[in-house]
């Protein structure tokens, strides 16, 4: 019971963090047809910007400023990087973002050093909020949960209830028609790219001090965000949401299960001392998202909620 409660709560927080990253990526992907390899790099930039800004202004100002800065960086990348490459096709765009991810990681290493920076949870939130089954639960995680839910509601409102959201939705499926109606579609693309990057930056701001802020953090989470987008389905925020939570729960539950293969397949004669029998479920946790990705692409290539195959 205790394990399940904690796994549920942590899985929810991790899943919402993943959704914050993948919502922007899904929008960018379905609009431009480009899986942005550098998306997680913007997440990393968010964490580092917040760390540096936080030294001068404190955490609360950085919480707002850092995502905006990341968004501006994203807009610049779209305007002067991605847009010229667009003429060379999707593969060239994908490769451009792949190279960009390399470059951003190296720039971060040069600017902030190769080891983790001491980006700390703000002291105002560094206390145990409540006790659950005798263990204390940190307030910062609940703060992450609140920010994620705020973001979720804000995004939903923006896309479904405002005019700009209407135009974005139209541009997702019918960019030419939107352009004929007099909207500047490239600028909408740039806005969406910037907003997606800003969301990733926000995830970095609140996730960087919860996890760890180091140059390899983008490489660690980037492939998992891809999994979310592919499993959720092209162009579907709902799908990305479900897939984020699914992967969040899957990973946290797998880590909390204390069992190995021999416990499950012992009836087949598998010994706990043998190499296969020794593998624990917890050690499989990092592999599970990729297993899900491969199975999903093989069995249902359009993803959970996708409207079309990509």
Q: List residues binding another protein (CB under 8 A).
A: 33, 35, 81, 84-85, 88, 90-92, 94-96, 98-100, 102-103, 106-107, 110-111, 113, 223, 226-227, 230, 275, 279, 283, 286-287, 290-291, 293-294, 297-298, 301, 309-310
d(CA 255, CA 74): 34
113 versus 128: smaller Cβ distance to another protein: 113
CB-wise, 112 or 189, nearer to another protein?
112
Q: Choose between 3 and 283: whose C-beta lies nearer to another protein.
A: 283
Element (H, E) at 137: strand 135-138
For residues 30 and 230, is the Cβ–Cβ distance under 8 A?
Answer: no
Q: What CA–CA distance (Å, rounded) separates 94 from 38?
A: 9
* DSSP H or E run through 136: strand 135-138
Q: Which of 253, 36, 300, 40 minimizes the C-alpha distance to 292?
A: 300
Give me the least distance between CB of 74 and another protein, in Å please. 16
Residue 260 three-state SS: strand
Nearer to another protein by Cβ, of 189 and 226: the residue is 226
61/266 Cα distance (integer angstroms): 55
What's the closest the beta carbon of residue 24 comes to another protein, in angstroms? Answer: 17
The least CB distance from residue 298 to another protein, in Å, is 4
Task: Using the minimum distance from each CB to another protein, give the nearer residue, 162 or 283.
Answer: 283
Q: Which is nearer to another protein, 4 or 291 (CB)?
A: 291
Write the CA distances from 293 to 30, 65, 230, 289, integer angstroms.
Answer: 18, 35, 7, 6
* Min CB(284)–another protein separation in Å: 8
Beta bridge pairs of residue 137: 130
CB of 217 to another protein, least distance (A): 15
φ, ψ at 135 (rounded to 5°): -105, 145
The structure tokens 């990057």 sit at 197
């Amino acid at each position: 019971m205790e394990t399940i409660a904690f796994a549920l709560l942590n899985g929810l927080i991790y899943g919402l963090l993943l959704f914050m990253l993948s919502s922007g990526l899904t929008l960018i992907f379905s609009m431009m047809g480009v899986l942005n390899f550098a998306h997680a790099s913007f997440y990393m930039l968010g964490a580092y910007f917040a760390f540096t800004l936080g030294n001068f202004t404190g955490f609360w100002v950085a919480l707002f400023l850092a995502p905006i800065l990341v968004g501006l960086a994203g807009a610049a990348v779209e305007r002067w990087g991605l847009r010229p490459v667009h003429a060379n096709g999707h593969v060239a765009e994908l490769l451009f973002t792949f190279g960009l991810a390399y470059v951003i990681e190296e720039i971060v290493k040069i600017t902030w050093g190769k080891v983790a920076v001491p980006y700390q949870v703000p002291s105002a939130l560094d206390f145990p909020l409540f006790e659950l089954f005798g263990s204390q639960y940190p307030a910062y995680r609940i703060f992450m949960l609140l920010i994620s839910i705020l973001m979720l509601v804000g995004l939903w409102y923006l896309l479904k209830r405002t005019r700009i959201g209407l135009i974005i939705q139209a541009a997702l499926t019918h960019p030419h028609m939107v352009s004929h109606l007099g909207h500047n579609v490239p600028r909408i693309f740039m806005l969406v790219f910037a907003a997606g990057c800003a969301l990733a930056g926000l995830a970095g701001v609140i996730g960087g001090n919860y996890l760890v802020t180091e140059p390899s953090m983008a490489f660690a989470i980037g492939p998992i965000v891809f999994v979310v987008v592919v499993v959720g389905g092209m162009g579907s925020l709902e799908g990305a949401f479900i897939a984020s939570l699914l992967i969040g729960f899957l990973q946290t539950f797998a880590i909390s299960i204390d069992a190995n293969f021999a416990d499950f397949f012992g009836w087949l004669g598998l010994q706990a001392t043998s190499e296969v029998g020794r593998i624990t479920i917890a050690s499989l946790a990092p592999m599970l998202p990729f297993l899900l990705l491969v199975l999903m692409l093989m069995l249902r290539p359009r993803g959970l909620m996708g409207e079309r195959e990509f």
